[in-house]
Amino acid sequence: MNKSSMLITNAKLITWEEPNRILDGKALLIKDGLIVEVDSDKDLAANNPDVEQIDAQGQFVMPGNICAHTHFYGAFARGLAIPGSPPKDFPDILRKLWWPLDKSLTMDDVRASAQVMLVDAIRHGTTTLIDHHASPNAISGSLDVIAEEVDASGLRAVMCYEVTDRDGKDKAQAGIEENVRFMKKMRNKRNADGRVAATFGLHASLTLSEATLDNCLEAVPEGTGFHIHVAEHEADEYDSLAKSGLRVVDRLENHGVLGPKTIVAHAVHVDAREVSKLAENGTWVTHQPRSNMNNGVGAAPVESLMRAGIRVCLGTDGFSHTMWEEWKASYLLHKVWHRDPRRMSGVDVARMGVYNNAKLAQQFFPTAPIGVVKPGAFADLIFVDYHPHTVLNEDNLPWHIIFGFQESMITTTIVAGRVLMKDRKLISMDTEAVAASAKQLSKGVWERFQRQF
């Protein structure tokens, strides 16, 4: 039996090639983490009698989902009570929820929150995650701790630490050092068979001084990409105008932060000139509709961003790693926001959630095609137990996903040819132990949180 090889048989393939293809009765041969052959069931099985077989039992087999922006550290927010009056706007949410919460995290909590989110991602078929981390009282080494957990989980992830001035100069400097150290480490020694990658994290213009932005740029080699929140709320724009006389995109451009390797999360309140600048310099934008609705910050002008030529991707912002939920939220949000059912077609949602997310992930994992089923591509796959009661084809698939697919239908998750969940049973992680440990730790996190009020 060849252990590094695997044959998936009896699959209904969704390839997500461009154009997409849906193929019945197919088999996939996987070797050393890559898909090496796609052929008919009979032929591949006959030619590879010694290879371990997984029968997909006619389920849909498709590329695993990719999340373009998340926060593992937010795991302990679930069920947390915020003292006093409810936050009245997004800056208030930062002050009353996220900043006291991230200050409450010890290194053990950082590890546990990553574990919780990784279990969630495997269960819901999200195989690549781009994380943005903050733990101001456990900065140094935090990215290593998360990387260890990503490695053990078998998933693929990109990490960074969010540099910010909100906790003073020393912590801003510690954040810079953590990013630089981790980026160098990932460059020198590719972690976890290349499943872990690094970028440079910045919180947002509104918590970054001119000096700190300059320090970040001085600390990294030219051409480094960043991962930063931009114009999530109007406050970011007004703060930038007050600090520099410039809008956020202009300010960040002047500091050399933007470009084809940089990820900008949200871009809800950018103006027309900022949109054209993001398009001109090739910056990626990520859209997180559930988060935007939850924070009451409005809806990013996603269709206009895409029409301008910006590659808009889809993320969760730390919500559960259920990417099809994000598809649905996006599909619905823009219709209600504009009071027009013609807005945000399923094709545009798939453009973000599939093709643009795959192109972004490709930047960090360049050794093989990602987010696609074809020979040579990474074997990052999910099985979906979906039984349509109407015709399903390449043209209407986005609407089947939006109205029919549920993450609970995902039965098997595979990354780089390793089975992480089979028939809904997690293999690479002990879900009960992870939940029990996180539950225990959550008490301490919540106590430390409450003490700050």
Closest separation between CB of residue 72 and Zn ion, Å? Answer: 11
Does position 102 interact with Zn ion (CB under 5 A)? The reply is no
For every residue of 94-143, DSSP letters joined together read IIIIIHHHHHT--HHHHHHHHHHHHHHHHHTTEEEEEE-B--TTS-TTHH
Which secondary-structure segment (H or E) carries 326?
helix 323-338
Residue 93: partners with Cβ closer than 8 Å, 6 or more residues away: 87, 295
Closest separation between CB of residue 134 and Zn ion, Å? Answer: 10
Closest separation between CB of residue 69 and Zn ion, Å? Answer: 6
Q: Which is nearer to Zn ion, 204 or 377 (CB)?
A: 204
Contact assessment for residue 407 and residue 325, using Cβ atoms and an 8 Å cutoff: yes
**Paired tokens of 64:** 């695993």
Q: Which is nearer to Zn ion, 265 or 381 (CB)?
A: 265
**Residue corresponding to tokens 């936050």:** 87
Q: Which is nearer to Zn ion, 288 or 412 (CB)?
A: 288
**Paired tokens of 212:** 């700190």
Closest separation between CB of residue 315 and Zn ion, Å? Answer: 7
The bridge status of strand 381-384 relative to strand 312-314 is: unpaired
- CA–CA dist 102, 429 (Å, integer): 25
SS3 255: coil
Closest separation between CB of residue 229 and Zn ion, Å? Answer: 5
Q: Which is nearer to Zn ion, 59 or 179 (CB)?
A: 179
- Please give the residues from 206 up to 245 whose contact with Zn ion meets the rule CB under 5 A: none
Closest separation between CB of residue 288 and Zn ion, Å? Answer: 7
Q: Which is nearer to Zn ion, 292 or 362 (CB)?
A: 292
User: Minimal CA–CA distance to 420: which of 431, 429, 408?
Assistant: 429
Which secondary-structure segment (H or E) carries 306?
helix 302-307
- CA–CA dist 220, 200 (Å, integer): 9
- Please give the residues from 384 up to 413 whose contact with Zn ion meets the rule CB under 5 A: none
Number of residues that bind Zn ion (CB under 5 A): 2
Closest separation between CB of residue 179 and Zn ion, Å? Answer: 16
Q: Which is nearer to Zn ion, 70 or 411 (CB)?
A: 70
Q: Which is nearer to Zn ion, 167 or 380 (CB)?
A: 167
**Paired tokens of 247:** 């809008």
- Please give the residues from 259 up to 318 whose contact with Zn ion meets the rule CB under 5 A: 265, 317
Q: Distance between alpha carbon 183 and the CA centroid of its chain, in Å?
A: 18
Closest separation between CB of residue 46 and Zn ion, Å? Answer: 49
Q: Which is nearer to Zn ion, 252 or 265 (CB)?
A: 265
| Listed ranges 86-94, 115-123, 199-207, 257-265: which one lies at the site for Zn ion (CB under 5 A) | 257-265
Residue nearest to Zn ion (CB): 317
**Residue corresponding to tokens 């690094």:** 198
Contact assessment for residue 127 and residue 65, using Cβ atoms and an 8 Å cutoff: yes
Residue ranges binding Zn ion (CB under 5 A): 265, 317
